[in-house]
Structure 1
């Protein structure tokens, strides 16, 4: 059986979790996340609603990972970027 090595990242503004995982060659993103144990550490992660990407590009849970992939679990935005720009524009006009 061939094995591959992948990374899993879950980040906060001042802290991040970084896992190095070895799995069989035919593993999905879902299997990597479940194998990592991150779901036990952070119950706020919902793999069905949190966006997930590899090297910054969105993927689904059934995506077959490749050796060297860096899987990223994204947190929901705590603010609306459009509304934030509007607020900054109001302040700068004053």
Structure 2
């Protein structure tokens, strides 16, 4: 009989984070490990999609063979494009600065 491997599977949502420590057989793929944790169904229920998988912050394929001690992370789709969000933040700051300068210029009269 082969020795079992212990891995963690994590799912983080804005309001809650789940972590499951599971034992799997050597040679188990990332997709099989995620299914064994049950977090794939929870992710699909919460996010409406099947998750992408990563190990310690790096995306891996479903066929990645899991090693002992790895942390499998379930990634959900972004709700906003980070570039567009930064642009909107910069534009909002510029507008606030422009309004403040207009107020300052008008108060000295």
Same fold (TM over 0.5): yes
Contact between 2:11 and 2:43, CA under 8 Å: does it hold in 1?
no
**How many residues in Structure 1 have an aligned counterpart in Structure 2?**
91
Contact between 1:54 and 1:70, CA under 8 Å: does it hold in 2?
yes
Note the residue ranges of structure 2 that are not aligned, 5 or more in a row.
96-109
Structure 2 counterpart SS, 1:73: strand
Greater Rg, structure 1 or structure 2? 2
Note the residue ranges of structure 1 that are not aligned, 5 or more in a row.
none
Higher relative contact order (CA 8 A, sep 6+): 1
The aligned counterpart of 1:52 is: 53
Q: TM-score, normalised by structure 1?
A: 0.89
1:1-94 matches, cutoff 5 A: 1-43=2-44, 44-46=48-50, 50-94=51-95
The CA deviation at 1:39 is 3.0
Q: Which has the higher helix share?
A: 2
Moved over 2 A (4+): 39-45
